[in-house]
Structure 1
Amino acid sequence: MGSILRSEDMSLVQLTMQREAAHDTVASFGNLGLIQFKDLSADLNAFQRQYANDIKRCDELERILRYFEKQLKDSEIKRAVVPLFEGEEPATNTGDLFALETEFEEKEKELLQLNSNLEQMTLEKNKSEELTYVIKQGEAIFSNGQDEELPGNVDSGNGSSDYLVDDNSSLANSARSGGLGYVTGVIPQSKIPTFVLLIYRVTRGNMIPRFSEIPEKLFDQKSGTLIEKSVFTVFFGAQRAREMIKKICESLGANIHEYPSQDVISAQRRLNQKINELEQTINTTELRRNDILTEVSTHFESWKRKIAVEKAVYNALNMMDYKIPGSVIAEGWVPSKHLETIRYKLSEARLSSGAQIESYMEELRTDEVPPTFFETNKFTACFQDIVNAYGVPRYKEVNPAVFAIISFPFLFAVMFGDWGHGIILALFGLSVIVFENKLYKMAEESEMFGMIFHGRYILFMMGLFSIFTGLIYNDVFGLSLGIFGQSGYTFHHDASGRNVGTFSGDTYVFGVDPAWYGTSNKLLFYNSLKMKTSVIFGVVQMSLGIILAGVNMIYFGHYFDFVVEFIPELLLLWCSFGYMCVLIVVKWCRSWTEGVNRSPILGGVPAILPTMTDFFLRFTTLEQPRVFGTPSNSHVVPAVEGTNEQLRLQQVLLAIFAISIPVLLIPKPVYDHYFHKKHHHVDHSQHTHLQDDDIMGTGDVNHADTIVSVNDVHKATNHGEQVEESPFSEKMIKQLIHTIEFVLGVVSNTASYLRLWALSLAHAQLSEVFWDMTIKLLLTNENAIAEFLAKSGIGLVVIWAVWFVLTIGVLLLMESLSAFLHALRLHWVEFQNKFFAGDGHLFQPFHISSIIKAAEKENRED
């Protein structure tokens, strides 16, 4: 518990090692995750650091990996899934990096060459296939035949289809005699309307287009995909239009092919042979590329992790000091209890690296504030993250997460109190806990489910506490059940015919008596109960916060603050709303009726709120019925009456409340001003004395201790000078603001806890409304159709489904989220502001597994 109640003891260590041992040492520390390195080369930019070139090498390897990843996606070859560090050592050495560089360069070069060859061969094959279709259309035209697939006229896009129409034999004869020119090729079908329109305008209508759809999709060089294409032949009269038509074809991505004028059959045969050879070569090339990519997919994850590890190791090495030739100096924060482990790993890494000079570790004295470190597990980590989301605890201050483990789910349950909903919530949380290994991958891939998965223990705890508070409220899905015995009330009809309940004297065993369900004054009863319990819970939690502030003051040795801040703050709360809580409890514990005639005692049944109003505004008299004290027949009791114990107690408490305000306001700024002024004078004298001793060579202090002492005095003196610059008026104003904020916060923070009452009532009322407007409405409806649906079971199934959807969607999702956020606010603002500074910085050790998980998460997001 010590490691989670307060931060672990942290030590600043200096590591000195031989350069040959630095890499293995850092990698070994990365597997432990127990040291946070300090940047000793902060004065250097990224290009001036020792291992800048090695970082560039890692970046280049990552670039090649991204190329491999793209090739794997394009080829649809799945990467082998390798669990983190399974079958391999995560920390690599420099030799591994050189081997990876050579292997990566060879594979990338071969893949680039294979892809280039495939692209060229595919393009050549595509052109050959296009030419075969051009020859087929040419045969249809120039062999005096009629092609059934030829569409004849093609609309130019200007609303006219009045092109020159002639038969193929006439066109062929005109082309052979030189009367008509023609251009043949292949064009994407989507570009045909534009193509026709442009050549129509270029030739001024003197053209005849012929198109034939290609039955299979062909490769398109621009888009890199297979698209639908058509063969075209354009006949034209003016030979000067040939170049303009070719330019139009180039602009629209059409490929021009020359129709062979002689020996068409031989040309077709040569084309078919060429296509077969290209197909065989393409298949062989693709097989070789797939073999390489399959090998890459097998090692891809391990390569990626090795590179990430190496890059992280070099980044850590770049933070070290290399001013001493052949040596490396590193500094970092280590949990004090793990110092021996670090020392052992330091020696072990030196032996494994073959370094001749022993590596050693030394603890340093420092005035720096250490990082905050709590050892958490799967259960406590989620509560710690809730606290850290608001602010990281200051080093060695009390950790609010310890108390949030109980208080957070409890306050949630006070607002969510329904043991039926609590069972569902607890079962859901328990299911995620039981199947956490199977759901881990899903949680990593989905950010929304990842938050639920990380908070699975919170959900389970909130469900358990909701079951408890639901039993206290006797509330299950908007109903009340007598599961703990018989009711303490008996009902009978009075003279007016009303059904009135009479208390039998036997209190219901546990929770609220089920007799209150359905009564006309049920809401008034629950209002009073939940409002008062909310105030009690608020005062108790705020009191705990103030007590923890006092514990912090004692721990850090701020005894004066304990007297002038902790004591008056606690008295301010306890003498006001603390007294109110006492009145509530006393009123609950006393019987305010005597026998059947219900005669009042102590002047009648007291009202708490008017009593507290009179506590501040009418402190000389007690006009309200008393909660405790000697009975009186008068409602107004003079202040001088000796039998009025309650009035005298209230006057004493009010006097303490009034005295605590100036005690909280005045002493602290006066003490701080006087103490720091005197402290600055003493430090300056000590500084001068140390300088004189150092110059004269006197004293029994060694040189290292003298340097440390002088540095400490310098820092203390500088700090004193900074505080001295702050005038007394400014300190007084700050303390005045703190005093006003706390006094007003006693009221506002207590009132803020009334959200426990409001949300609890809202949840209960929604549950009751959903039940009454669905299942109860069907069962109590005397309509014949409703009775038939209810008796047949069809209506019950449908109406139960509606009720269940409303329960899950509104009460278990929306209401639970609302209660969660309000519980979060009560802890962050009302509780933690009493003692929590939250200005610390987390211990972030160099941990290889964390680095790899972060890299994998970033890769999934990309």
Structure 2
Amino acid sequence: MGELFRSEEMTLAQLFLQSEAAYCCVSELGELGMVQFRDLNPDVNVFQRKFVNEVRRCEEMDRKLRFVEKEIRKASLPLMDTGENPEVPFPRDMIDLEASFEKLENELKEINTNQEALKKNFLELTELKHILHRTQQFFDEMEDPNLLEESSALMEGNEGGRGAPLRLGFVAGVIGRERIPTFERMLWRVCRGNVFLRKAEIEDPLEDPATGDQVHKSVFIIFFQGDQLKNRVKKICEGFRASLYPCPETPQERKEMLAGVNSRIDDLQMVLNQTEDHRQRVLQAASKTMRVWFIKVRKMKAIYHTLNLCNIDVTQKCLIAEVWCPVSDLDSIQFALRRGTERSGSTVPSILNRMQTKQTPPTFNKTNKFTSGFQNIVDAYGIGNYREINPAPYTIITFPFLFAVMFGDMGHGLLMTCAALYLVLRESRLVAQKSDNEMFSMVFAGRYIILLMGVFSVYTGLIYNDCFSKSLNMFGSGWSVRPMYGPRGANWTAETLDGNSVLQLDPAVPGVFGGPYPLGIDPIWNLATNKLTFLNSFKMKMSVILGVVHMLFGVSLSLFNHLYFKKPLNIFLGFIPEIVFMASLFGYLALLVFYKWTAYDAFSSREAPSLLIHFINMCLFNYGDPTNRMLYRGQMGIQVLLVLVALACVPCMLVVKTLVLRRQHLWKKHLSQTREEPAELASADFRAMFPTDVSSDLVSSPRRGKSQQS
């Protein structure tokens, strides 16, 4: 259990991996998840490392898989996830995976290209069908004598009133419905009113082959006279991206063309259905293994990325790696290296060598599914130093309890408990579903935190007698409006209640039971106008007590860190002044709360002094306030002493400790200088004993100096 209350003991280890076994060994270490690799090539560019080509190949395979996944999601097909954790494929299997992904990608691209071309052709035929159908209606309407006479008069009036017979040309096409008003105004202005436009909406939306969106279009036919107007009309249609289609002039030709278009549409629809069925079969087959492929490719990429952190020896036959790992898991790491060596088929075992280092190891705390949520809360505020006490186990109790003190509702706490209990009991099924909802994932990760918060909230709700912001009358109220014995209760009658719309409950009036409420707060307080005054006073005092205890406990934990790291300076100039300062001020305030509860009862509480005013006067040395009398005999002397002790702790923490640390630093610096001076003096004496040329030879080359001296 020592690892639970303190971070794991870490060690720096050196790994010697054979080139043919390095891939499998790193794979086994990755599955174990107990090592942290160090980068031994910090000065080498990412693109100049040994396994950069393999990383790029994995990235390319990952890109192809993302393309296939996008197509699967576009087709609204579910991705099969069996929860399988596949093994990492061997490096030689990368070629087969690349070939499979390349084939799948090319097949999908070819299907998409053909399908887009078929949909485009289908769209053109559909638009032509609507044009032929609507055009026939336009010409049938034009056979009306009144309408024909009106259009002829319009065209003749625009041509200057000439009586020559008109030979009108026309173009027909399809345009987006939202562009019709602008299109019509542009035709009128450019052609100066010398064209005749008829339009009709297509009821059914058409599918855009490029984007797959549903668009609404309209059929139009434009009558004009002359080639000049014809060119203008075609340019305007081209500018508005209107599709023009050939339309025969005679009804018989239009009828024959419409029959041919309908036949081609039926044939094309059958081909489109077959193409879509084939695409669905390909995507369904890919969706069954998509998750497994993703895991394999990303594991391979992680392995090659880790191998790029290793150093390669001169012989190119061995990879050298440095890892941080827990001391308690060294046997598991060596067993994983042995499995990786056997899996690769190598006969040379991998070597793990512990190294001595002065570097500070990383902080590592082992967690499980219950403690991981609380550890994440602690790490969110800051990760502790190496081998410090881990506050997460204590947070398992303090965090939900302090939440419940603030929440304090039995009904809502019961709902939280039921919801969290559902997540806990069905966690295996919910984990297998692997929901992508970020909000649900966050709530599911904290299911045990929510469970404890709900349980503690039920308890504090019972203490507060608060259920959905309402009080529960479980034992019957201890308050009565009947006349009581004594001067305080004799005036409480039914007439008093009827004649007063606002009444404050007096705790000094004895109740029916003649004692305190059995559990929690009397429900009659929920009806009183001074409810907040009573409850806020109660909750404030309780919060002060809990807060002081919590702070003192947190500071006390630092003592174990100072003892473990053997830092007496932090104990005498850090921990002791901190604990004395907090106990002198805030601890004394908590004791005053308990003393006031025991020294005054409901009848004498009106004469009790205010603790808030007492604490303020204590810090300001103001003892001449006649409205706030003392709680006990000798209070002034004790409070003055406590404030002076607290004030004396401040310079001890801020000034004395700083001066002592500075003196230690200067002393170490002085010792390092004194150690260097004898070496320099010895070197100077040595040079003075010999000539310049001989001394230089002796220093540069000892062997040559000996030969010259001999």
Q: Which amino acid aligns with 1:544?
A: F
Pairing partner for 1:121 from 118, 121, 128: 118
Verify: 1:530 aligned to 2:539, yes or no: yes
Compared CA separation, residues 163 and 466, structure 1 to 2 (3 A): same
CA distance in 2, matches of 1:663, 1:657: 10
SS at match of 2:14: strand
CA distance in 1, matches of 2:260, 2:601: 114
Tell me whether 186-195 or 333-342 shows the greater mean CA deviation.
186-195
Verify: 1:572 aligned to 2:571, yes or no: no
SS at match of 1:362: strand
Alpha carbons 1:491, 1:502 under 8 Å: kept = no
| Offset at residue 218 of structure 1 (A) | 4.9
2:82 maps to which residue?
Answer: 83
Compared CA separation, residues 490 and 198, structure 1 to 2 (3 A): closer
1:315 maps to which residue?
Answer: 305
Q: Which amino acid aligns with 1:288?
A: H
Compared CA separation, residues 163 and 556, structure 1 to 2 (3 A): farther
| Offset at residue 79 of structure 1 (A) | 3.0
Alpha carbons 1:79, 1:300 under 8 Å: kept = no
**1:723-802 pair list within 5 angstroms:** none
Q: Which amino acid aligns with 1:674?
A: R
Tell me whether 264-273 or 199-208 shows the greater mean CA deviation.
264-273
CA distance in 2, matches of 1:558, 1:15: 35
SS at match of 2:304: helix
Alpha carbons 1:64, 1:108 under 8 Å: kept = yes
Compared CA separation, residues 652 and 149, structure 1 to 2 (3 A): farther
CA distance in 2, matches of 1:213, 1:515: 72
SS at match of 1:15: strand
Compared CA separation, residues 81 and 502, structure 1 to 2 (3 A): same
1:542 maps to which residue?
Answer: 551
Q: Which amino acid aligns with 1:89?
A: P
Compared CA separation, residues 507 and 294, structure 1 to 2 (3 A): closer
Alpha carbons 1:488, 1:508 under 8 Å: kept = no
Pairing partner for 2:239 from 233, 251, 255: 251
Alpha carbons 2:12, 2:324 under 8 Å: kept = yes
CA distance in 2, matches of 1:79, 1:310: 25
CA distance in 1, matches of 2:605, 2:269: 108
Q: Which amino acid aligns with 1:70?
A: K
CA distance in 2, matches of 1:149, 1:126: 32
Q: Which amino acid aligns with 1:414?
A: V
Pairing partner for 1:376 from 364, 367, 370: 367
**1:42-441 pair list within 5 angstroms:** 42-76=42-76, 78-84=77-83, 86=84, 89-131=86-128, 163-164=154-155, 179-209=167-197, 211=199, 218=206, 220=208, 225=213, 227-229=215-217, 231-259=219-247, 264=253, 274-324=264-314, 325-437=316-428
1:670 maps to which residue?
Answer: 659
Compared CA separation, residues 302 and 165, structure 1 to 2 (3 A): farther
- Encode CA deviations 1:718-749: one digit per residue, 9 max, x unaligned: xxxxxxxxxxxxxxxxxxxxxxxxxxxxxxxx
SS at match of 1:498: coil
| Offset at residue 68 of structure 1 (A) | 2.0
Alpha carbons 1:443, 1:453 under 8 Å: kept = no
Compared CA separation, residues 132 and 531, structure 1 to 2 (3 A): closer
CA distance in 1, matches of 2:289, 2:405: 53
1:464 maps to which residue?
Answer: 455
| Offset at residue 48 of structure 1 (A) | 1.8
Q: Percent identity among equivalent residues?
A: 34
CA distance in 2, matches of 1:54, 1:151: 80
| Offset at residue 43 of structure 1 (A) | 1.7
Q: Give the alignment's TM-score, normalised by structure 1.
A: 0.66
1:820 maps to which residue?
Answer: none
CA distance in 2, matches of 1:686, 1:672: 22
Tell me whether 503-512 or 564-573 shows the greater mean CA deviation.
503-512
Alpha carbons 2:479, 2:524 under 8 Å: kept = yes
- Encode CA deviations 1:468-489: one digit per residue, 9 max, x unaligned: 3344444554436464997899
Compared CA separation, residues 6 and 674, structure 1 to 2 (3 A): same
| Offset at residue 102 of structure 1 (A) | 0.8
1:492 maps to which residue?
Answer: 484
- Encode CA deviations 1:169-226: one digit per residue, 9 max, x unaligned: xxxx989xxx444434444455444444444444443334455666765555676555
CA distance in 1, matches of 2:539, 2:2: 36
Tell me whether 428-437 or 344-353 shows the greater mean CA deviation.
428-437
Q: Which runs of 5+ in 1 are unaligned?
A: 167-172, 630-643, 694-862
- Encode CA deviations 1:827-850: one digit per residue, 9 max, x unaligned: xxxxxxxxxxxxxxxxxxxxxxxx
| Offset at residue 356 of structure 1 (A) | 3.9
Compared CA separation, residues 174 and 368, structure 1 to 2 (3 A): farther
Alpha carbons 1:186, 1:230 under 8 Å: kept = yes
Q: Give the alignment's TM-score, normalised by structure 2.
A: 0.78
| Offset at residue 337 of structure 1 (A) | 0.9
| Offset at residue 592 of structure 1 (A) | 7.3
CA distance in 2, matches of 1:564, 1:619: 30
Q: Which amino acid aligns with 2:509?
A: G
CA distance in 2, matches of 1:470, 1:198: 74
Alpha carbons 1:39, 1:319 under 8 Å: kept = yes
What number of residue pairs does the alignment pair up?
A: 653
CA distance in 1, matches of 2:121, 2:97: 35
Alpha carbons 2:479, 2:510 under 8 Å: kept = no
Alpha carbons 1:487, 1:508 under 8 Å: kept = no
| Offset at residue 334 of structure 1 (A) | 1.3
Tell me whether 207-216 or 320-329 shows the greater mean CA deviation.
207-216
SS at match of 1:563: helix
CA distance in 1, matches of 2:86, 2:679: 53
Compared CA separation, residues 80 and 147, structure 1 to 2 (3 A): farther
Q: Which runs of 5+ in 2 are unaligned?
A: 158-163, 493-507, 683-710
Alpha carbons 1:7, 1:397 under 8 Å: kept = yes
1:32 maps to which residue?
Answer: 32
| Offset at residue 271 of structure 1 (A) | 5.1
CA distance in 2, matches of 1:22, 1:152: 89
Compared CA separation, residues 62 and 251, structure 1 to 2 (3 A): farther
Pairing partner for 1:501 from 501, 509, 513: 509
Q: Which amino acid aligns with 2:668?
A: H
